[in-house]
Amino acid sequence: METLNFMTPEQAEEIRNLFGTPVYVYDERSLRAAADSLLRFPHAYGLTARYAMKACSNAAILKIFDELGLLFDASSGFECERAFRAGIEAEKISLSSQEIPPGFASLFEKGIHFNACSLWQVEQFGELFPGCEIGLRFNPGLGSGSTNRTNTGGPAASFGIWHEQLDKVRSLTEKYELTVNLIHTHIGSGSDPQVWQRAANLSLDLVRQFPKVQALNLGGGFKVGRMPDEASTDLSEVGQPVKAAFIRLFEETGRKIHLEIEPGTYLMANAGSLLTTVGDVVDTGQKGYKFLKLDSGMNDLLRPSLYGAQHPVILIPGRKRACRDNYVVVGHCCESGDLITPQPGQPELLAVREMPEAAVGDLCVIEGTGAYCSSMAASNYNSFPQSPEVLLMENGTPRLIRKRQTLEQIIQNEV
Ligand SMILES: Cc1ncc(COP(=O)(O)O)c(C=O)c1O
């Protein structure tokens, strides 16, 4: 039998018996190990490691990372509030958002750090808080992501202030007497390590343009292999040349710049799995396909449909089966795009996976689903409720950290 990432098949079966399927399971040991290794990221003059909480925003996860010394990156006002409710202090939160949220003034007064992500945001911030310190998120002119949809740099991305608009930024910061204390860039998720390093150098060039900047936040984006043939970024390898570049900047200018990083994927991706049950097995004849239908789908897990993302799908047959077969794995939503096994990077094309012969009722584990899965699902499509989340604690005990949503909760705001 294939091995699972962090559970035994018996533990997976126990969790299914306790909480039903579909259910997300997060592994506390993996979370702690990932945070430990992130905190060893090479740096010359100090490191702040943040967790990009959009990857998975459950309070139990935030609390673990808080206890381990990580700070937080929020991408909306709601994420800031959610972090507060998990007990995270405002000073530990940095907001980089596509919009200045309603109620921003009170968030900033509580003590969050703010990175303006457009000229309009600088203007709005200046109106509200003239004379204050501000971070600036730039688009450094190049980006890299595992797909075009996760590339957040270069001319085709709307994230950050375009790097050639320095004069416009300066005139705004002068107009409102703002002190730029941090430069921020995040060029994409699943970035090519070499492009990430080039972007780091471009970001340091931006630091040179702002003499009062004390810190550079290089975002997240470190690649994590979920499938056996996918490579993961070696943090030490990607970080050492960047550390050297910080030292060169010091030698040239006498400025010791603090480093910030804020990954989500690196911390979460392989620390989560989605447990599902096979609900049906259908086929389209000799020239067609065999489809394995799960009791979950894009309402829990959107990445395959959205990006053609690849996730290991591990079938745990209820009893021993001698044969293996090829299956297209699909979700339960009434949508042909609800495909769990698309071709890599091609969400519209089917791919088959070889696995033990499947039967209705078998347990089926989708791995590598800790980041941007529960938090980024097409929630409530077909009125399926949000699935529960379980934390597999260090001592091996599963603890419910989010209940299954009820139908009443889905419709409660209808008037
Ligand atoms: C501003 C910012 N920082 C950090 C991240 C985390 O990226 P990743 O999960 O690829 O590490 C993101 C992801 O969208 C982001 O937008």
Q: Residue 149 has what pLDDT?
A: 85
Distance of alpha carbon 254 from alpha carbon 302, whole angstroms: 47
| Residues whose beta carbon lies within 6 Å of some atom of ligand 1 | 52, 55, 73, 75, 96, 186, 189, 219-222, 262-266, 371
Strand partners, 272: 26
Q: pLDDT value at position 15?
A: 98
Question: Which pLDDT score is estimated for 193?
Answer: 87
Using the mean position of ligand 1's atoms as its centre, give its distance from the Cα of residue 287 in Å: 42
Low-confidence winner among 10-14, 275-279, 321-325 (lowest mean pLDDT): 321-325
pLDDT bucket at 32, cuts 50 / 70 / 90: very high
Query: Taking residues 209-223, what's their average pLDDT?
Result: 97
Helix (H) or strand (E) holding 244: helix 235-253
Structure confidence by residue, pLDDT tens digits, 318-356 = 988 889 999 999 999 999 999 999 999 999 999 999 999
Cβ(138)–Cβ(160) below 8 Å: yes
Reported as type and span, the H/E element at residue 81 is helix 77-85
**CATH superfamily to which 9-24+271-403 belongs:** Lyase, Ornithine Decarboxylase; Chain A, domain 1 (2.40.37.10)
Return the residue whose CA atom lies nearest to atom 14 of ligand 1.
189
3-state SS assignment for residue 191:
strand
Which residue has a Cα nearest atom 13 of ligand 1?
A: 189
Q: Provide the CB-side half-sphere exposure for 63 (13 A, CA).
A: 9
Question: 222 C-alpha to center of ligand 1: Å?
Answer: 9
Compute, in angstroms, the gap from residue 307 CA to the centroid of ligand 1.
Answer: 16
Which residues on neighbouring strands pair with residue 49, listed in sequence order? Answer: 261
Radius of gyration of the chain (CA): 23
Mean pLDDT of 354-379: 97
Atom of ligand 1 at shortest distance to CA of 220?
11
Write down the pLDDT at residue 39: 98
Closest Cα partner for 163 from 122, 209, 215?
A: 209
- The residue-averaged pLDDT of 43-66 equals 98
Residue nearest to atom 3 of ligand 1 (CA): 219
Per cent of the chain over pLDDT 90 is 93
pLDDT digits (tens, 9 = 90+) for 16-27: 999 999 999 999
Report the residue among 73, 138, 306 best suited for mutation to probe ligand 1: largest number of ligand atoms under 8 A from its CB. 73
- Catalytic residue status for 334: yes
pLDDT digits (tens, 9 = 90+) for 109-158: 999 999 999 999 999 999 999 999 999 999 999 998 888 888 899 998 99
pTM for the structure as a whole: 0.97
Q: What is the pLDDT of residues 87-118, one digit of tens each?
A: 999 999 999 999 999 999 999 999 999 999 99
Provide the b/e sequence for 7-27 (b: ≥16 CB within 10 Å).
bebeebeebbeebebbbbbbb
Please choose from 139, 144, 186, 232 the residue to mutate so as to test ligand 1's pocket, defined by most ligand atoms within 8 A of CB.
186
CATH hierarchy code of domain 28-268: 3.20.20.10
Which atom of ligand 1 lies nearest, measured to the CA of 372?
A: 9
Which of 132, 334, 364, 373 is an active site residue? 334
190 Cα nearest atom in ligand 1 = 10
Residue 13's pLDDT band, with cuts at 50, 70 and 90, is very high
Instruction: Determine which residue's CA is closest to atom 5 belonging to ligand 1.
Output: 220
The residues spanned by each domain of the chain are 9-24+271-403, 28-268
414 CA to centre of ligand 1 in angstroms:
33
Closest among 244, 204, 196, 203 to 222, alpha carbons compared:
196
For residue 293, the number of C-alpha atoms closer than 13 Å in the C-beta half-sphere is: 10
pLDDT value of position 44: 98
Closest approach atom of ligand 1 to CA 96: 1
Contact 298, 337 (CB under 8 A): yes
Answer for the pair 292, 281: CB distance below 8 angstroms, yes or no.
yes
* Greater model confidence, 388 or 152: 388
Atom of ligand 1 nearest to the CA of 145: 10
Q: How far, in Å, is the centroid of ligand 1 from the Cα of 377?
A: 17
Residue entry with tokens 């430069």: 183
Q: What ligand 1 atom has the least distance to the C-alpha of 189?
A: 10
Question: How many whole angstroms from 188 Cα to the centroid of ligand 1?
Answer: 7
CA of 20 relative to ligand 1 center, distance in Å: 31
Share of residues in the chain with pLDDT > 70 (%)? 100
Distance in Å, CA 218 to ligand 1 centroid: 10
| Cβ–Cβ < 8 Å for 100, 121 | yes
User: What are 45's two structure tokens?
Assistant: 């003059």
The overall average pLDDT reported for the chain is: 96
pLDDT of residue 86: 98
pLDDT at 190 (0 to 100): 86
**Between β-strands 324-330 and 290-294, what pairing exists: parallel, antiparallel or unpaired?**
parallel
Tokens coding 380: 């409530």
The answer to whether 321 touches 283, Cβ cutoff 8 Å, is no
Residue 282 pLDDT exceeds 70: yes
Coil, strand or helix at 387: coil
Question: What is the structure's pLDDT at 410?
Answer: 98
